Amino acid sequence: MSSETFTTAMFLIAAIISAGVLINAVFPVIYTLSSTISSSSHNVDERLSTDVKVVTTYASSTGTAKIWLKNIGAGRIADSSIQRSDVFLGSQSDFIRLTRSGALTEGTWRYEILEDTNNYWDPGETLYIEGNTAKIPGKGEIVYFQFVLPSGLIRSTTFTASD
């Protein structure tokens, strides 16, 4: 009888130790996995709530283009995200990535959030972009424009140069 008690006690101790080892091995993996899932979920939510539409465009053969974009998504876009955005402009077969600048010179772009009150591009607000490049074609030819947010949202359009 004492050997059965001793054997049962040993199995019980082994089971408790095994459970402790298993918990210590599995818990960090579960914690890391839940953190990864939470981060991915936030990124997906941000991308789904962000949407932008090109409202109207204008380009002159002097090399200046003006583009108005509307935030039609549910989320607001930080000013810092707009600053890190990529803008491509030129003809359909010959365009360049413009550099953001305060002064509009060759190969640069600048922007303004119209109706801005909080340094965010809020839903319903308009973003005005002005770009300058010699790659804009002459009157009546097709101009290519593309706007890329750091989150991966891409909006592009083609339109005809005016004068």
Residue 39, CA atoms < 13 Å, CB-side half-sphere:
6
Same structural domain for residues 31 and 81?
no
pLDDT digits (tens, 9 = 90+) for 94-141: 999 999 998 999 999 999 999 889 999 999 999 999 999 999 999 999
pLDDT digits (tens, 9 = 90+) for 21-35: 777 777 777 777 666
Q: Structure pTM?
A: 0.73
Residue 1, pLDDT above cutoff 60 = no
Q: What is the CATH number of the domain that holds 125?
A: 2.60.40
Tell me how many domains the chain contains: 2
pLDDT of residue 6: 74
pLDDT averaged over the chain? 88
Same structural domain for residues 27 and 59?
no
Residue 82, pLDDT above cutoff 60 = yes
Same structural domain for residues 152 and 130?
yes
Same structural domain for residues 59 and 38?
no
Q: How many CB atoms lie within 10 A of CB 84?
A: 13
Domain hosting residue 33, numbered range: 1-49
The percent of residues in the chain predicted with pLDDT above 70, rounded, is 88
Residue 18's pLDDT band (cuts 50, 70, 90): confident
Place of tokens 């935030």: 71
Q: In what order do the strands lie in the sheet with 64-71?
A: 52-59, 64-71, 126-132, 108-114, 94-100, 86-91, 142-148, 154-160
